[in-house]
Structure formats: C-alpha cells, structure tokens
Structure 1
Amino acid sequence: MKAMIDGGLKLAQSAALASTSLIGRSMHSLRPTNIVVHRAPPPSPSYKGLELDYENGKKFYFSAEFLRLQSPSADSMRTTATGKRKIVSGRRHVQILGIEPVGNYGIRVKYDDTHDTGIYTWNYLYELGSKKFYYMRTYIQALREEGLSRNPRTTVTRRKQGSDF
C-alpha cells in the first residue's frame, strides 16, 4: 500500500500496510491500495481530508468533519436513555492532526478537538465511502430536528448594564 500525504504527514509503511498473501487478501479485500491525506490551507499544520483508493477502482474522499462524525469510538456511539444516538454537532471545522496504522485492519485518526479513540477498520471505511451521502443527509436531518448546527458554538459575552468592564 502506498501512503501519500500532502505536505509531509507520513503513514508508516509497516507489516500492517504491506500486501498480504492470497489467504489474507480475501479476508482484507477492502484494504485500500493508496491513502492520501490532504493538508488544510496554510498556516494550519493540520489536515482536512483523507482519500482512499481501492483495487476495484473505487475511490473515496472523506472530509475530516465526516470522519469525526462517524467515529467508531465508544464516546461517539453513545445513545440516550430513550435509545436515540447522541448527535455530535459543531465539527464543521475539525481537522486531522495525525493518522497511524492499527494492526492489519485499520487506522486511528487524531483530531484537533482532542478526539483520538476511534479505530476505523478497512471494512468500516469502505462502508462509509459507499454510503457517505446517505450518512451525511441523515446527520444533517438529525441536526435540524435537534436545533443543532454543523458550525461550532460561538459564545457571546454580554455586559451587564452599569458594568465597568
């Protein structure tokens, strides 16, 4: 597998990323053949997206926001007492700080909002790519229903009348 990165972030070539035997290949047929991480505009040292190429010709681009929303970590997959999935909002501008291989089966993505516990398996990334527009439409609809936004909250400090500061 090749790992190409805009601006220098390297996903280490290791046994986890090396090509597998024919037996292993059938188990991991959804492993990407190429990963490209796209840099955010300067002066940011972070990354804004991830592109995966597959042997079957499929190519998926994921924004950092989309990957963060779909994080398979336990804290992102929490549900409320009524069984409704917790909605992560305000992540439109989140960026990727780093990516590291995890065993033979996936990657861990570190974000600038300090989230770094989700392990994205090759199968999960392929599923996300195949259903990306469905997942994003569902997410936007859920935000609207809850009165939330993709944009981060902005706090407005209001002065009390008669305040000196």
Structure 2
Amino acid sequence: MSGLKSDTPVPTGIVVHAVSRVLELQYANGESFRIPFELMRVYSPSAEVRGHGPGQETLQTGKREVTITALEAVGHYALQPTFSDGHDTGIYSWDQLYDLATRQDELWAEYFAKLKEAGVERDTPMAASAHDGAAHGHCH
C-alpha cells in the first residue's frame, strides 16, 4: 500500500453525508472536498477492484446508489469504509483520498470512458461474486 507522501494534507474533519452519499473531507487550510461514495467505490484501492497488476482491474458498475455503512480509521494514515454492497477491503490512505477529492472531474471522465469502451452501462448490475452474499433481484 502506498504510504503518506510528506506533502499530503491530513483531514482535520471527516463527515459521512448518508443522504447525499458523499464523504466530506475538511482540511486545516480551510479547504473542503466532497467525494461521492460511487467514485470512492469504483476507484477502490482493493485488490478485488484493482487486480494484482496493470490490466487486471475489474470495471465496477451499478454503484450509483452505494452508501457507506461504516467507516473505520486505519492507524493514522487511512480510512477503511464498508459499503452497502458489502465491499469492505479497500483501505484509502490520506494521499489516495486527497487524489480522489482533487481529481474528480478527470476520474469521472476516465470511468465513463472505460464504461463506453467496455460497452456497459453505468447502472448495469455486477455479476455476483462468491463473497457477495445474497443475490440481488433486478427488474429489467
């Protein structure tokens, strides 16, 4: 896992906005960012999403309505959210969170380009994996 860069700001305040589905990060310099849960989820640093090397990423879909059901600190360098779809293996270091917060437009554009390239819709349900728990019913 990537550690903290020496110049990465550490949030002084963290607020989970459940209704609007954003994680708010507040910094000592007065900056404040709201990262949508969906963006966090599709860019999860977990091996389940990232794979174990370039080209092994798993494109995440159907995450628009995902929420954070729990949020735990990992030492003094990261957060580990539990998402409503059961995903809980992503550990977000302060630098990864700051990167997500400050590059949202670029990351959304990259995500939408990957969806288009793969020929899938943003809201397409993901195929159930072995550790997803109960299958979810979907109407077509």
CA shift, 1:132, in A, is 1.1
Equivalent residue number for residue 132 of structure 2:
none
Matched residue type, 2:11? P
Structure 2 Cα separation of the partners of residues 33 and 137 of structure 1: 29
- Report the secondary structure of 2:28's partner residue: coil
Question: In 2, are the aligned partners of 1:28 and 1:105 still within 8 Å (CA)?
Answer: no
CA shift, 1:152, in A, is 4.0
Equivalent residue number for residue 18 of structure 2:
39
User: Which sections of structure 2, spanning at least 5 residues, go unmatched?
Assistant: 126-137
How many residue pairs get matched? 124
The two structures have a TM-score, normalised by structure 1, of 0.67
CA shift, 1:63, in A, is 1.1
Structure 2 Cα separation of the partners of residues 144 and 98 of structure 1: 32
Question: Which of the numbers 72, 80, 93 marks the counterpart of 2:45?
Answer: 72
- Report the secondary structure of 1:89's partner residue: coil
User: Which sections of structure 1, spanning at least 5 residues, go unmatched?
Assistant: 1-25, 42-47, 157-165
CA shift, 1:83, in A, is 2.6
CA shift, 1:155, in A, is 4.6
Question: Which of the numbers 61, 68, 86 marks the counterpart of 1:96?
Answer: 68
CA shift, 1:89, in A, is 1.1
Deviations 1:47-68 (A, max 9, x none): x221001123321101111110
Question: In 2, are the aligned partners of 1:93 and 1:151 still within 8 Å (CA)?
Answer: no
Structure 2 Cα separation of the partners of residues 74 and 87 of structure 1: 12
Instruction: Give % identity.
Output: 35
Asked which structure has the greater CA Rg, the reply is 1
Q: Return the structure number with greater relative CO, CA threshold 8 A, min gap 6.
A: 2
Matched residue type, 1:88? Q
CA shift, 1:77, in A, is 0.1
